[in-house]
Structure 1
Amino acid sequence: MRTWMMALAAGLLSLRFLPVLPASGALAALLLVAAICLWRRHAVVACVLLGFCWACWSAQQALVDRLSADLDGRTLWLEATVIGLPAHTPNGVRFEVEQAQSRRAALPARLQLSWFSGPPVAAGERWRLAVSLKRPQGLLNPHGADREATLLARRIGASGTVKAGERLSAQSSSWRNALRQRLLGVDALGQQALLSALVLGDGSGISAEQWQVVRDTGAVHLLVISGQHIGLLAGLVYGLVAMLARLGLWPVRLPWLTWACVLSLSAALGYGWLAGFQVPVQRACLMLAVVLVWRLHFRQLPASVPLLLALNGVLLFEPLASLLPGFWLSFGAVATLIYCFAGRLGGWRPWQAWTRAQWVIAVGLLPLLLALGLPVSLSAPLANLLAVPWVSLVVLPLTLLGTALIWLPGVGEGLLWLAGGALWGLFETLALIAQWRPAWLPAALPWSNWLLVALAAWLILLPRGLPLRVPGALMLLALWPRLDSVAHGEAEVLQLDVGQGLAVLVRTRHHSLLYDAGPSFGEVDLGEQVVLPTLRKLGVDKLDLLLISHAHADHAGGALAIRRVLPVARVVSGEPTAVAPALGAQPCVSDEAWEWDGVHFSLWQWAGADSSNERSCVLRVEAAGERLLLAGDIERGAEQAWLARPEAAQVDWLQAPHHGSRSSSTGAFLRVLSPRGVLISRGRGNSFGHPHAQVLARYRHLGMAIHDTALEGALRLRLGRHGQVSGQRQQRRFWREPVAGSAASP
């Protein structure tokens, strides 16, 4: 039976790794093969094929439900019902809708919308909205998060920005929203948002500082409702019944074990209902139900059986769950505990089991965290050793009891005040731990090194006394690989996908330069959220030069976040007095030139510039006769001034000035430079209309290859090899749209 379940799980999980989905005809043929295998009693092969076909068919249905390409970027009037708990922020409101209807087109079943400076929105309300819709897509960088996969796993068929709207009907089911407002209105020592997160799974009010603390300490699972909370509540109820039975206080006529299982599952389902039964909660409740049934009737079976049953149950219910990191981490944590605690000889005292559980999970999840590109919290064992029992035995019971009694004046508020105080003390402690040991984001490992780390974790978790544990610990040295360095005389160029902004990394054999740092607008700092993590995963631990072309927020906004974390030897800017003073920027000096590892660099700035864009500091890079020009946001005037210089010669690659705006990329400039290709950095569907159609036509007329981050993701070029530009989207995944041929070709 276990073999069959493992085979079914293998078929279901294979979806996660497919570059493309098989055609319907191929799936039908595989189903026929599965039927033949069942008839011939080859059940293992049949289970693999059945799981694979079901997962692929489900994924195809989700892809079909995406917004059609001809509606991408269009503004439509639609009517829809708000679902879930909208997230209200200082900039507006984010929410999801379903049952969207439009007279002009068929729409996906679920949409994710943002309404800047919009009115309050509540679950259950019916709205008529004017929405600018986009197909699901996100920034795509090496080893970075994949928003397309997340949206597909949540079956969101489009995102959009609301331009106008009117409420058609009041909320029909508003108890969760009313409870949230009540929780946010109590006196809880400033921890109201955390109480709402614990009760309702609503993390929209949690501050960026609080998120950073729990990320650094590996305590994210304690913040918003997850399998951890479902298990904690069920365990408390189960333990209470078991304790009453042991003390002789439980009614004899009622079998304590049966009632313990029933009551704990009922408590978990009630908690899940309170939290809106999001996918992680559904997964946790299903896992708990399987474990309790195993506890009641099938204890003679190995502990891996309920894990496999829960795994297959979750994937059969939602095959796309394997695209979410939380799926792998939750099942990985349970599998690690089963591996280390089931069937081991010798007994452990409760405190020993508890302390060992923390470091066991830390070691067991290390390979998964590395594979998913997530930060590794070095302080997680210590932080969770304190936080888990505090949340389990103090915060969670007080919070749930206070919520249940909130309608009694003074009683519920008092309990929630105590819960808030407990949370305040916990976060003060976690903040100290995070300051002492923040999360570590290692460089992305080659597969050979990752396999060594995975093997090392398995060996370390072997039973005590086995001699292989010491070699396993030594194998963890694979965490620090010798990364492939750039050859002497060459430069690796990576134009990151930062939306409507610019960030270009240039690396030689021993040096790193960052040209612009990505945008920062309000709460969104892509320097911190995208550029910095990408640099870390690429193994860049310092910058020899941070060059900020000019002071506009889409180029300089992320510089401070990078400067705070990475050592930077020197900062240069075309507008040194206009960028943040903390950067300590030096002015761009025309004709300054230097050489790193056989690669030549030179700077230039137009002396007659009278605008911020025209003051952009231009960088010219040459490796083995192949030239790249990074032009920032220069426009016609600076382009004409550049043509008067002796260096105004042919280049191989051009970063499109000012994101391809109509005020740049003049015909004379392009004809003199005559690049093989242009690299455009811009946001998909941006409000500026970049790149302009006339500029694109000019590029194509002159036979230039066009590479666009909005279509291809991050762009990579090895300068000095006279090769081609590769886009991150060329690494095919079935959920990613292929590169649009109209923009990628001349």
Structure 2
Amino acid sequence: MERWLLLFFVGACCALVLEQVPALYYLLLLALSCFCVAILVYFCKKLLPVLAWLVGFTYILWAAHAHFSWSENNDLDVNTLHLNDVLIQGTVQTLIVESEDLRFNVEIQSINSQRLKKTFLARLTFKQANINLSQGDNIRLLVKLKPAHGFANQGGFSYQKWLLQKHIVVTGYVKKSAQNMVLEKSKSVRQALYNQLNTRLKQNLKPLILALSLGDKSQIDKPMWQMLQTTGTQHLMAISGLHLGLIAAFGFTLTKLVIWLLPKPLISQRYLYLYPIIVSLIFACSYSYLAGFAMPTVRALIMLLWFYAFRLFCTKVSIIKWLLLSLCTIIVIEPFAILDASLYLSFSAVLVILFSFWRWGYLVQDRSKWQKALLSLLLLQLGICLFLMPMTLLLFNQVSVVAPFANIVVVPWLSFTAIPIILIATLSLPIIPSLALWLFDIANYCLQLSISYLNWLTAFEYSIVSFSTPALIIVCLLPLAIFLQSLRLISFKWQVITLFPILVSLFLVEVGAKYWQRTNNYWLMTVFDVGHGLAVLIEKNGKAILYDTGASYSSGFNFVEAAVKPYLLTNRLEVIDLAILSHSDNDHAGGLVHLQQHNLVKSFAVNFAELKNNRQCSAGTSINWQDLTLKVLSPINNVGEHNDDSCVIELTDGVHKVLLPGDISSKVELQLLYLQSLSEVDVLIAPHHGSKSSSSFSFVQFVRPKFVIYSSGFLNRWNMPVEEVSQRYQQIGAVELNTSMVGMLQFTFTEHEISYKSYRENLLPFWPWQ
């Protein structure tokens, strides 16, 4: 059975590598194939593994087809939906947290008073909301919608994948209108608890209490998150399987204690064994509800249900079968959970724990209770830290060195103090508020002790190891060597003989790649997907120049942190030699503050601000950088017109040319033509994102780029690039590339050719990211 379950999971994973979800006709053929193989299995049992794989493969694709058919099911045109405001009616699905700008999910039931055949989920933003919303309310809102879409950058957070996991098919924002109203108040219990907690809690660690009680992490600020990430304890502040397991165990133990204390005649002895299980499940389900049935809690709940099912029916199964049954059940209930990295981290952690105690459990035997507890905790933390390091490094581009020291203290401390206390306090708040507030004070004190300890750990200079070739070699080969040694299948001598060639090969590949780059005058230009804005990175020999930063927003979100910085980490670029900001508009210079605060740049070229190590960007100057020449063509002088004051850069390696014109208008384009500053180029970033005020006919005909790149927003309100501009580039045979459609673009320049690849078409060309 384990093999069949594993093949079902493998088949489901294989379904993710298709470039697009097949049409209904092909899905019907797959379903028919499953049916035919199922019949053949009756005659030939050897085909059962094939059936298991095929069912997993087909099931995920059917789920994807159902998800993406929302517009067809409701006779909606997905290509025109964004053009007009629509009046929707639906039910608020998520917790409404106190914020200036509300972000919430709505299950839409009707559009423009027309009832939908099949409801779907939308993610909405309501700026300066003037009506009081709650989870569970039936509402009517005037909104602007567009299909679900996310920025696509290497190393960055995939918002589109996140939307898919949440079954959200459209996003949008609420328009100010007298028609916006709550049609029926139906506040959920979870919302009522949040409102009480948010009003009554005055503790300094209130954001952490809200996170541990209701799964609301919105109030945790960036410094706190940074500290948790540095110490590898962020998992403690997101309600997960650990928390649910503790609560279930608490309910089970509490019930056993009550049964032991009560006189036997008061309780039926026949079903005595059921009471702890029932109470444990009630506690677990209640806690899952408080967390909004977040996927980590649902996973843990399913594992708990299988565990109790085996216990009730006196069925003895292997741990591997239990894990595989839980995994496949999760995928059946929530198919897109297969995209969640935390799913693999959770199950890997369980396997590591089981392996560690199987192989080194003898170290804790024949000890006193306290010694056994401490040694078990130490073994657990060392095992998880060591064997999950490769996965952590590949997923997050960094590894916390202090994580074992943080978790070995904080996990047991919070598990037996703050977490159960917060749950009891939350549940007792509506009944005995004074008791609840007293318990929250105790929980706050317990959390404060943990935070003080974690802050002490973060003071160490090398608490984080970033992604690099040496780090990758160490975190991969060290666990592998210890794993091989623990199995004792081969001697230490043969382990060295096996691993040493791998180490040498990795080193030679690294040296060879650098040598090839130098001898071929190899350099890269990366155009990030930053919506309506611009951010371009020039790389050569492990060094970089940044042209513009993309935007930043009042919420704290900025594209340096969301796109540029993750890319630098992924590609082992520690610092930027030079940052050129074309002009002061937010969509081009919004990340300047973040660059300064985190010392990501050695020097700047900025005209609109006085900065440390700053050089002026004015026509006639040039910068020589690693055999690349950056020639400034404009501005001749700053006249206070933000777009036309853009710093225009011509970049050349002596063979190829790239033009970075910022947001100049046709007036500046004609001026540059008149001054004979321009020449034909190979790659052009379309001026002003392809607006009708730029890319004049004369300019396009003169520079004649082979590739033109539009850095514009998805279905933006200005319809950039405008059709007439696009036609001009088509007339000269230029290859048009739009970051809103293909994601991040990366051009490779060598002495002999120019090639490019995009995020959606080359780096991750699979349907979950399309």
TM-score, normalised relative to structure 1: 0.90
| Counterparts of 1:473 and 1:414, CA distance in 2 | 57
For residues 191-202 of structure 1, the aligned pairs below 5 Å read 191-202=205-216
| From 249, 265, 287, the counterpart of 1:235 | 249
1:592-643 CA distances to partner (integer Å, 9 max, x unpaired)?
3344443332223322442122222222111352110111122233222322
| 2:369 paired residue number | none
Residue identity (%): 27
| Counterparts of 2:149 and 2:294, CA distance in 1 | 22
| 2:367 paired residue number | none
Question: Could you tell me whether the CA contact under 8 Å between 2:134 and 2:187 is conserved in 1?
Answer: no
| 2:82 paired residue number | 73
| 1:744 paired residue number | none
Please report how far the alpha carbon of residue 252 of structure 1 lies from its aligned counterpart in structure 2 after TM superposition: 11
1:273-303 CA distances to partner (integer Å, 9 max, x unpaired)?
2323233322110012223334565675322
Instruction: Work out whether 1:362 is the aligned partner of 2:385.
Output: yes
Paired residue secondary structure (1:89): coil
Question: Could you tell me whether the CA contact under 8 Å between 1:215 and 1:439 is conserved in 2?
Answer: no
Please report how far the alpha carbon of residue 532 of structure 1 lies from its aligned counterpart in structure 2 after TM superposition: 0.7
Question: Could you tell me whether the CA contact under 8 Å between 1:100 and 1:110 is conserved in 2?
Answer: no
Question: Could you tell me whether the CA contact under 8 Å between 2:82 and 2:146 is conserved in 1?
Answer: yes
| 2:447 paired residue number | 423
What are the ranges of 5 or more consecutive residues in structure 1 without an aligned counterpart? 738-746
Paired residue secondary structure (1:270): helix
Please report how far the alpha carbon of residue 517 of structure 1 lies from its aligned counterpart in structure 2 after TM superposition: 1.7
| Counterparts of 1:690 and 1:105, CA distance in 2 | 33
> What amino acid is the match of 1:482?
E
For residues 209-248 of structure 1, the aligned pairs below 5 Å read 209-240=223-254
Paired residue secondary structure (1:388): helix
Please report how far the alpha carbon of residue 383 of structure 1 lies from its aligned counterpart in structure 2 after TM superposition: 1.5
| Counterparts of 1:482 and 1:87, CA distance in 2 | 49
| From 384, 390, 407, the counterpart of 1:384 | 407
Give the 3 Å change call, closer, same or farther, for CA 260–354 of structure 1 in structure 2: farther
| Counterparts of 1:395 and 1:345, CA distance in 2 | 29
Instruction: Work out whether 1:56 is the aligned partner of 2:89.
Output: no
Paired residue secondary structure (1:128): strand
| Counterparts of 1:257 and 1:16, CA distance in 2 | 43
| 2:482 paired residue number | 460
Segment of structure 1 superposing worse, 643-652 or 217-226: 643-652
Give the 3 Å change call, closer, same or farther, for CA 560–299 of structure 1 in structure 2: farther
1:347-402 CA distances to partner (integer Å, 9 max, x unpaired)?
51221111121121122322333443454333221211122112211101221121
1:448-473 CA distances to partner (integer Å, 9 max, x unpaired)?
x79x9656534434675846698599
Give the 3 Å change call, closer, same or farther, for CA 409–154 of structure 1 in structure 2: closer
> What amino acid is the match of 1:232?
L
| 1:571 paired residue number | 604
1:168-216 CA distances to partner (integer Å, 9 max, x unpaired)?
4232243211110111122442222322221211222222222222222
| 1:135 paired residue number | 147
| From 141, 144, 159, the counterpart of 1:147 | 159
| 2:33 paired residue number | 30
> What amino acid is the match of 2:41?
L
Please report how far the alpha carbon of residue 476 of structure 1 lies from its aligned counterpart in structure 2 after TM superposition: 8.7
| 1:550 paired residue number | 583
Paired residue secondary structure (2:105): strand
Give the 3 Å change call, closer, same or farther, for CA 213–502 of structure 1 in structure 2: same
Question: Could you tell me whether the CA contact under 8 Å between 1:126 and 1:167 is conserved in 2?
Answer: no
Instruction: Work out whether 1:286 is the aligned partner of 2:302.
Output: yes
> What amino acid is the match of 1:574?
N
Give the 3 Å change call, closer, same or farther, for CA 478–139 of structure 1 in structure 2: farther
| 1:17 paired residue number | 17
Paired residue secondary structure (1:112): strand
| 1:743 paired residue number | none
| From 126, 139, 158, the counterpart of 1:115 | 126
Give the 3 Å change call, closer, same or farther, for CA 477–379 of structure 1 in structure 2: farther
> What amino acid is the match of 1:222?
L
| 1:630 paired residue number | 660
| 1:740 paired residue number | none
Instruction: Work out whether 1:521 is the aligned partner of 2:553.
Output: yes
| Counterparts of 1:208 and 1:249, CA distance in 2 | 53
Segment of structure 1 superposing worse, 353-362 or 717-726: 717-726
Please report how far the alpha carbon of residue 314 of structure 1 lies from its aligned counterpart in structure 2 after TM superposition: 0.5
| 1:95 paired residue number | 104
| Counterparts of 1:127 and 1:633, CA distance in 2 | 41
| 1:719 paired residue number | 749
| Counterparts of 2:145 and 2:34, CA distance in 1 | 37
Please report how far the alpha carbon of residue 584 of structure 1 lies from its aligned counterpart in structure 2 after TM superposition: 4.4
> What amino acid is the match of 2:99?
T
Instruction: Work out whether 1:728 is the aligned partner of 2:759.
Output: yes
| 1:655 paired residue number | 685
Instruction: Work out whether 1:323 is the aligned partner of 2:366.
Output: no
Please report how far the alpha carbon of residue 246 of structure 1 lies from its aligned counterpart in structure 2 after TM superposition: 9.8
Please report how far the alpha carbon of residue 515 of structure 1 lies from its aligned counterpart in structure 2 after TM superposition: 0.9
Segment of structure 1 superposing worse, 636-645 or 227-236: 636-645
> What amino acid is the match of 2:385?
A
Please report how far the alpha carbon of residue 433 of structure 1 lies from its aligned counterpart in structure 2 after TM superposition: 2.4
Segment of structure 1 superposing worse, 233-242 or 57-66: 233-242
Question: Could you tell me whether the CA contact under 8 Å between 2:399 and 2:464 is conserved in 1?
Answer: yes
Paired residue secondary structure (1:603): strand
| 1:6 paired residue number | 6
| Counterparts of 1:243 and 1:646, CA distance in 2 | 89
Judging by fraction of residues, say which structure has more helix: 2
| From 559, 573, 578, the counterpart of 2:592 | 559
> What amino acid is the match of 1:323?
L
Question: Could you tell me whether the CA contact under 8 Å between 2:154 and 2:566 is conserved in 1?
Answer: no
1:695-727 CA distances to partner (integer Å, 9 max, x unpaired)?
223323333222111111011111344334332
Paired residue secondary structure (2:388): helix
Question: Could you tell me whether the CA contact under 8 Å between 1:77 and 1:129 is conserved in 2?
Answer: yes
| Counterparts of 2:551 and 2:575, CA distance in 1 | 20
Question: Could you tell me whether the CA contact under 8 Å between 1:460 and 1:473 is conserved in 2?
Answer: no
> What amino acid is the match of 2:194?
R
Give the 3 Å change call, closer, same or farther, for CA 568–478 of structure 1 in structure 2: farther
| 1:741 paired residue number | none
RMSD: 3.2
Segment of structure 1 superposing worse, 540-549 or 295-304: 295-304
What are the ranges of 5 or more consecutive residues in structure 2 without an aligned counterpart? 365-371
Tell me the number of residue pairs that the alignment of Structure 1 and Structure 2 aligns.
Answer: 729
Paired residue secondary structure (1:614): coil
| Counterparts of 1:457 and 1:298, CA distance in 2 | 37
| Counterparts of 1:33 and 1:26, CA distance in 2 | 10
Paired residue secondary structure (2:123): strand
Paired residue secondary structure (1:109): strand
Paired residue secondary structure (2:82): coil
Question: Could you tell me whether the CA contact under 8 Å between 2:685 and 2:709 is conserved in 1?
Answer: yes
TM-score, normalised relative to structure 2: 0.87
| Counterparts of 1:30 and 1:132, CA distance in 2 | 42
Please report how far the alpha carbon of residue 25 of structure 1 lies from its aligned counterpart in structure 2 after TM superposition: 4.0
| Counterparts of 2:36 and 2:352, CA distance in 1 | 35
Give the 3 Å change call, closer, same or farther, for CA 230–174 of structure 1 in structure 2: same
| From 719, 722, 726, the counterpart of 1:696 | 726
For residues 281-320 of structure 1, the aligned pairs below 5 Å read 281-294=297-310, 300-320=316-336
| Counterparts of 2:486 and 2:58, CA distance in 1 | 42
> What amino acid is the match of 2:55?
L
| 2:567 paired residue number | 534
| Counterparts of 2:600 and 2:225, CA distance in 1 | 24
> What amino acid is the match of 1:48?
W
| 1:482 paired residue number | 510
> What amino acid is the match of 1:356?
L
Paired residue secondary structure (2:576): coil
Paired residue secondary structure (1:392): helix
Paired residue secondary structure (1:502): coil
